[in-house]
Amino acid sequence: MSLIDLKDLSAAEMEKWAVKNGMEAYRGRQIRHWILTRFVESFDEMGNLPKTLRSLLKERARLCALRELKTIRSEDGTRKYLYQLQDGHSIETVLIPERDHLTLCVSSQVGCAMGCIFCATGKQGFIRNLKPGEIIEQVIRTKQSLEFPDRLKNIVLMGMGEPLANYDAVIKALRNIIDPDGMNFSHRKVTLSTCGLVPEIKKLANDVTVNLAVSLNGADNEIRSRLMPINRKYPLEALIEACRSFPLPNRRMITFEYILIKNENDRDRDAHNLCRLLSGLRAKINLIQLNVEPESPLSPPSMEQVLHFQKILTDRHFTAIIRKSKGRDILAACGQLRGTSGSEFS
């Protein structure tokens, strides 16, 4: 009999599994509490369960844990964790310090199939999807490493992989992260970033309430298709229509991430096209200077040009924020994750 990883189960599935294995449904809720709230690493730690029940759990279930291979710290306080999965593959998770809280950037796949030309993860190709428990484990293990774990307030699915390409596992993980009887993070503090999988964007709001961020990076189809091959399948017209129909709670906006690349998408006409594209949307634009990749022919624009690009947007009354990329010196910034023990971990 193969052992089930209980971290992969939703609340309903946990109760159903408990009943199927001869327990009362409330035992499933107790087990879930130990896993997602108390972060136990073995069934023996589940003190309110009878020994006979703990023995049964050992026979029929498991609690798979990530192995922390290495952690490195940036000059700005950012931490990058290299975690090894049960099958030997590795992923990276990034902890970002903010003024009064911490943000955790979580991976959803090993590698990525999207092939965006500015992204190191995409260059390694797609290996496999993460399971729900492997997504949750990044939060659990990182939180356990903190001196003040309650400072971790924000979760962003912006690490390795395209979250919406691993839809079912990501939705289940998100529910476990935000459910009051799960990890109890506020849904206002959880953000999913996508490169633009239109059918899944349309489904997302019906399945879970989180913030939506769209990696845009181009305001016309020619440029965006060159930078992001997914645009050939889901062009801007379809993507923006999905964004316009995405239900937003009061005062929320969709965040559009725009990585500025010199002579590719940073000209005045690109800024004006971006204004036209997002006109009428409840949108916030995050402007990010390209984080340089070794051996990449791409380069970032000057800060002067970034400020000029921002001014065009703000003059048109858009909320446009220049995001300072943290962790560049340890290859932990946007587009730099590889999931390997490279030179930055040595």
Co-location of 202 and 241 in the same domain: yes
In this structure, the answer to whether residues 200 and 322 fall within a common structural domain is: yes
The β-bridge partners of 212 are 192
Which of residues 335 and 298 earns the better pLDDT score? 298
What pLDDT does residue 344 have?
Answer: 56
Q: Is the pTM for the entire model greater than 0.85? A: yes
Least confident of 44-48, 84-88, 89-93, 288-292: 288-292
Pair 149, 165 in one domain: yes
Helix (H) or strand (E) holding 62: strand 61-62
In whole angstroms, give the CA distance from residue 89 to residue 137: 15
- The answer on 189 and 50 residing in a single domain is no
pLDDT confidence bin for 295, thresholds 50/70/90: confident
Please, which pLDDT band fits residue 335 given cuts at 50, 70 and 90?
confident
Max CA distance (Å), the chain: 69
Q: Match 């939180």 to its residue by tokens.
A: 143
Kindly indicate the confidence band of residue 346, based on its pLDDT and cuts at 50, 70 and 90: very low
- Whether 304 is a known active-site residue: answer no
Can 116 be counted among the known catalytic residues?
A: no
115 torsion bin: left (phi>0), alpha (psi -120 to 50), beta (else)? left
- Residue that finishes a domain, picked among 62, 83, 107: 62
pLDDT surpassing 90 at residue 331? no
What are the backbone angles phi and psi of residue 94, rounded to the nearest 5°? -120, 130
Same domain, 154 and 127: yes
pLDDT at residue 30 in the model: 97
Mean pLDDT within 81-103: 95
- Above 90 in pLDDT, residue 340? no
Q: Is 278 found in the same domain as 341?
A: yes
End-to-end Cα distance, the chain: 40
Please, which pLDDT band fits residue 120 given cuts at 50, 70 and 90?
A: confident
With the C-alpha atoms ordered 255, 260, 263, 266, is the resulting torsion angle positive or negative?
positive
Exposed/middle/buried for 18, CB within 10 Å: 0-12, 13-18, 19+? buried
CATH of the domain at 49: 1.10.150.530
Alpha-carbon distance of 138 to 121, in angstroms, equals 18
> Do 30 and 175 belong to one domain?
no
Residues 270 and 156 in one domain: yes
User: Among 18, 38, 62, which residue terminates a domain?
Assistant: 62
Q: Are residues 56 and 34 in the same domain?
A: yes
Q: Same structural domain for residues 86 and 169?
A: yes
Pairwise pLDDT comparison (286 vs 292), residue with the higher score = 286
Q: What percent of the chain has pLDDT over 90?
A: 88
| Domain match, 51 and 172 both | no
**Is the same domain home to 183 and 128?**
yes
User: What pLDDT sits at residue 326?
Assistant: 79
Rounded CA gap, 14 and 20, in Å? 10
For 222-253, the three-class secondary structure string (H helix, E strand, C coil) is: HHHHHHCCHHHHCCHHHHHHHHHCCCCCCCCC
Structure confidence at residue 334 (pLDDT): 80
How much of the chain exceeds pLDDT 70, in percent? 97
What are the pLDDT digits (tens) for 130-189? 999 999 999 999 999 999 999 999 999 999 999 999 999 999 999 999 999 999 999 999
Tell me: pLDDT of 302 over 80.
yes
Catalytic residue among 15, 195, 334, 344: 334
What number is the average pLDDT over the span 206-221?
A: 97
Whole-number pLDDT of residue 156 = 97
Pick the catalytic residue from 15, 92, 134, 137: 92
Domain hosting residue 234, numbered range = 67-345
* Domain harbouring 180, CATH code: 3.20.20.70
Last residue of a domain, one of 62, 81, 97: 62
How many domains does the chain contain in total? Answer: 2
pLDDT, averaged across the chain: 94
- Please name which of 116, 107, 115, 51 lies closest in space to residue 84, comparing C-alpha atoms: 107
pLDDT digits 0-9 by tens, 242-255: 999 999 988 899 99
